């Protein structure tokens, strides 16, 4: 019997568990350990609440979770309740699938003012992550700035722009919906430090901006290269740029919509100013050098705004004793190997890139690597040893069966048309399992 511990119950964790099960059948026991009492990581707290079809992939993870040889061990913090070293003593392989839940910080003057918010916090807030339920973002101003030209920036802009009825069928949490209903925001600026050909936005997500009830995307054609130059782009990127261009051709048709989503290209934030809270963003115009990097032109302008949300990527939190690559914000690894018996997968391995589906080949690959290393296993204690440790420390884990009860309560609490109303407090989650 092989014993594998996976830390993190998001997509990378569950795809790895599925791969282990497919590889070994009943000859493996997998424990998926998570800090929260609820599973699925980014699917629950990262994927936008109005993208339910993407969230539906959790049904596949549930199939894996409900098999006898895979176990969910929720509400256990590695590093507090149990150490990585202890897990390494108990399991043949420990796989860190901890994702990249920390924001890359916006390192500019004024970056610590009230109203400067990282995307992990903002996305966590509207998705009901217990760490960010109290965020209370300032949506009372007329203008907000979003920094970054990736899909997260798009998600954030779309969520701020939507009307209440556009959230029907979503699982946006009540505290966020209530706050967004009272929003005064009329102008959402999306700042990219490079140009339209350098965006990291995918076509489907970009296309959605052209079909919002009260908001319209606004672009300035002077930022665009000649249309013929689009032919050099790879097909997905070309589609995205075609969407951007269509926002210009459809400007007349969209002009009645009162909220604007302004694409400000070649715009690098250099400082945030305000009296204790965000009042304006100072932006430097950029141009691209021959390697397509943005360089400042010295030409500056100001954008009045009451909130700045930086969507500039994420980092994996380091774990004491685990080698870490500070520059890239992920564990130091070679093809997922960190140290003997210790591995990483998904964003914790490669950094925050790709889609949910990218984690599937990643999860299957790491199990092949583990298999090459562990052979038929080393007679470790596995889950029995973990249970004994947790018992001794009076730590009670939340099981998948418990989660199903929590989920039942969330479904029962849903407002009309919504799939669930998430608990946003860990104590409420834990209480719901005994109902
Ligand atoms: P991302 O795709 O890496 O985009 C980050 C953006 O931030 C880039 O435009 C980057 O510009 C910009 N940036 C980085 N540092 C900056 C700085 N100091 N100042 C100004 N701009 C800066 O990251 P993400 O949007 O966080 O997304 C993470 C991953 O999740 C991506 O793979 C994404 O596709 C995926 N995702 C997918 C979906 C979906 O499929 N629906 C939704 C959300 C997220 P440069 O290019 O100039 O560096």
User: End-to-end alpha-carbon separation of the chain, Å?
Assistant: 36
If one counts every other C-beta atom within 10 angstroms of the C-beta of residue 298, the result is 7
Q: What's the rounded Cα separation, in Å, for the pair 224 and 253?
A: 21
Quick one: 283 and 345 in the same domain?
A: no
Q: What pLDDT sits at residue 378? A: 85
Q: What's the rounded Cα separation, in Å, for the pair 266 and 294?
A: 8
Quick one: 275 and 151 in the same domain?
A: yes
- Ligand 1 centroid to residue 149 C-alpha, Å: 6
Quick one: 130 and 27 in the same domain?
A: no
Q: Is residue 168 part of a domain?
A: yes
Computed over every residue of the chain, the mean pLDDT equals: 96
Determine if the pTM surpasses 0.95: yes
Residue that has been written with the tokens 């030209």 in this structure: 149
Number of domains in the chain: 2
- Ligand 1 centroid to residue 280 C-alpha, Å: 23
Q: Could you tell me if 270 and 108 are in contact, meaning their C-beta atoms sit under 8 angstroms apart?
A: yes
If one counts every other C-beta atom within 10 angstroms of the C-beta of residue 240, the result is 23
Q: Is residue 426 part of a domain?
A: no
Mean pLDDT calculated for residue range 102-122: 96
Q: Is residue 179 part of a domain?
A: yes
Q: Which residues have C-beta atoms less than 6 Å from ligand 1?
A: 147-153, 155, 192-194, 198, 200, 202, 205, 294, 311-314, 352-355
Q: For residue 126, is pLDDT > 90?
A: yes
Quick one: 190 and 334 in the same domain?
A: no
For residue 314, the ligand 1 atom closest to its alpha carbon is: 26
Q: Could you tell me if 403 and 74 are in contact, meaning their C-beta atoms sit under 8 angstroms apart?
A: yes
Nearest CA to ligand 1 atom 1: 150
Nearest Cα to 386, choosing from 377, 399, 404? 399
Give residue-wise pLDDT tens across range 274-289: 999 999 999 999 999 9
Hey, which of 53, 152, 270 would you mutate to test ligand 1's pocket, going by the most ligand atoms within 8 Å of its Cβ?
A: 152
Give the pairing of strands 102-103 and 215-218. unpaired
Mean pLDDT calculated for residue range 149-173: 98
- Ligand 1 centroid to residue 364 C-alpha, Å: 25
Q: For residue 87, is pLDDT > 80?
A: yes
Which of 262, 281, 310 is the endpoint of a domain?
Answer: 310
- Ligand 1 centroid to residue 389 C-alpha, Å: 40
- Ligand 1 centroid to residue 320 C-alpha, Å: 27
Q: Is residue 431 part of a domain?
A: no
Q: Is residue 424 part of a domain?
A: no
Mean pLDDT calculated for residue range 360-368: 97
Q: Is residue 418 part of a domain?
A: no
Q: What pLDDT sits at residue 254? A: 87
Q: Residue 341 — very low, low, confident or very high, per pLDDT cuts 50/70/90?
A: very high
Q: What pLDDT sits at residue 408? A: 97
Q: What pLDDT sits at residue 377? A: 86
Q: Residue 371 — very low, low, confident or very high, per pLDDT cuts 50/70/90?
A: very high
Nearest CA to ligand 1 atom 15: 312
Give residue-wise pLDDT tens across range 304-331: 999 999 999 999 999 999 999 999 999 9
Q: Is the dihedral of CA 89, 90, 95, 99 positive or negative?
A: negative
Q: What's the rounded Cα separation, in Å, for the pair 48 and 303?
A: 27
Give the pairing of strands 187-191 and 259-264. parallel
Which of 277, 310, 343 is the endpoint of a domain?
Answer: 310
What CATH number corresponds to the domain at position 182?
A: 3.50.50.60
Q: What pLDDT sits at residue 179? A: 98
State the angle between helix axes of 11-24 and 58-65 in degrees (0 to 180), rounded to the nearest 10. Answer: 50
Q: What pLDDT sits at residue 132? A: 97
Quick one: 141 and 287 in the same domain?
A: yes
Quick one: 93 and 154 in the same domain?
A: no
Which of 260, 278, 310 is the endpoint of a domain?
Answer: 310
Quick one: 211 and 282 in the same domain?
A: yes
Q: What's the rounded Cα separation, in Å, for the pair 120 and 131?
A: 10
Give residue-wise pLDDT tens across range 233-261: 999 999 999 999 999 999 888 899 999 99
Give residue-wise pLDDT tens across range 194-206: 999 999 999 999 9
Quick one: 331 and 354 in the same domain?
A: yes
Q: Could you tell me if 345 and 326 are in contact, meaning their C-beta atoms sit under 8 angstroms apart?
A: no
What is the DSSP code string of 190-230? EE-SS-GGG-B--HHHHHHGGG-SSEEEE--GGGSPPGGGG
Q: What pLDDT sits at residue 435? A: 73
The pair of three-digit structure tokens given for residue 45, joined into one six-digit string: 């707290």
- Ligand 1 centroid to residue 104 C-alpha, Å: 11
Give residue-wise pLDDT tens across range 380-424: 999 999 999 999 999 999 999 999 999 999 999 999 999 999 999
Quick one: 324 and 218 in the same domain?
A: no
- Ligand 1 centroid to residue 288 C-alpha, Å: 18
Residue that has been written with the tokens 């250099």 in this structure: 270
Q: Is residue 65 part of a domain?
A: yes
Nearest CA to ligand 1 atom 40: 355
Mean pLDDT calculated for residue range 88-115: 96
Quick one: 245 and 333 in the same domain?
A: no
Give residue-wise pLDDT tens across range 22-78: 999 999 999 999 999 999 999 999 999 999 999 999 999 999 999 989 999 999 999
Q: Is residue 173 part of a domain?
A: yes
What CATH number corresponds to the domain at position 25?
A: 3.40.50.720
Quick one: 107 and 185 in the same domain?
A: yes
Quick one: 127 and 187 in the same domain?
A: yes
Q: Residue 21 — very low, low, confident or very high, per pLDDT cuts 50/70/90?
A: very high
Provide the b/e sequence for 113-135 (b: ≥16 CB within 10 Å).
Answer: bebbbbbbbbbbbbbbbbbbbeb
Hey, which of 192, 200, 205 would you mutate to test ligand 1's pocket, going by the most ligand atoms within 8 Å of its Cβ?
A: 200
Look up the domain containing 96 and give its range.
2-101+316-398
Q: What pLDDT sits at residue 434? A: 82
Q: What's the rounded Cα separation, in Å, for the pair 163 and 146?
A: 19
């Amino acid at each position: 019997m092989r014993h594998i511990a996976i830390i993190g119950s998001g997509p990378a964790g569950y795809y790895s568990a599925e791969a282990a099960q497919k590889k070994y059948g009943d000859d493996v026991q997998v424990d998926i350990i998570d800090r929260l009492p609820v599973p699925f990581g980014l699917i629950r707290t990262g994927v936008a609440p109005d993208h339910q079809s993407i969230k539906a992939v959790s049904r596949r993870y549930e199939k894996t979770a409900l098999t006898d040889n895979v176990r969910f061990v929720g509400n256990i913090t590695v590093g507090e309740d149990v150490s990585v070293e202890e897990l390494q003593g108990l399991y043949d392989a420990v796989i860190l699938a901890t994702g990249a839940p920390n924001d890359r910080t916006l390192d500019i003057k004024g970056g610590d003012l009230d109203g400067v918010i990282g995307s992990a916090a903002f996305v966590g807030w509207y998705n009901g992550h217990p760490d960010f339920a109290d965020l209370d973002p300032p949506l009372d101003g007329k203008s907000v700035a979003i920094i970054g030209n990736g899909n997260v920036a798009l998600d954030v802009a779309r969520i701020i722009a939507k009307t209440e009825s556009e959230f029907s069928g979503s699982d946006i949490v009540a505290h966020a919906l209530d706050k967004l209903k009272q929003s005064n925001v009329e102008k959402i600026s999306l700042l990219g430090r490079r140009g339209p050909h350098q965006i990291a936005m995918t076509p489907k997500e970009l296309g959605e901006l052209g079909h919002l009830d009260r908001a319209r995307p606004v672009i300035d054609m002077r930022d665009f290269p000649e249309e013929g130059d689009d032919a050099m782009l790879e097909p997905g990127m070309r589609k995205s740029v075609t969407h951007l261009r269509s926002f210009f051709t459809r400007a007349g048709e969209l002009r009645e919509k009162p909220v604007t989503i302004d694409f400000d290209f070649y715009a690098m934030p250099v400082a945030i100013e305000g009296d204790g809270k965000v009042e304006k963003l100072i932006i430097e115009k950029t141009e691209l050098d021959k390697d397509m990097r943005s360089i400042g032109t010295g030409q500056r302008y100001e954008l009045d705004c009451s909130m700045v949300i930086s969507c500039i990527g994420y980092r994996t939190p380091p774990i004491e004793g685990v080698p870490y690559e500070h520059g890239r914000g992920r564990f130091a690894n070679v093809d997922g190997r960190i140290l003997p018996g210790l591995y990483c997968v998904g964003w914790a391995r490669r950094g925050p890139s790709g889609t949910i589906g990218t984690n599937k080949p990643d999860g299957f690959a790491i199990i092949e690597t583990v298999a090459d290393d562990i052979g038929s296993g080393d007679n470790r204690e596995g889950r029995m040893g973990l249970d004994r440790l947790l018992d001794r420390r009076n730590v009670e884990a939340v099981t998948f069966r418990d989660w199903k009860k929590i989920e039942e309560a969330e479904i029962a609490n849903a407002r009309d048309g919504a799939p669930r109303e998430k608990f946003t407090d860990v104590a409420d989650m834990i209480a719901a399992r005994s109902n």
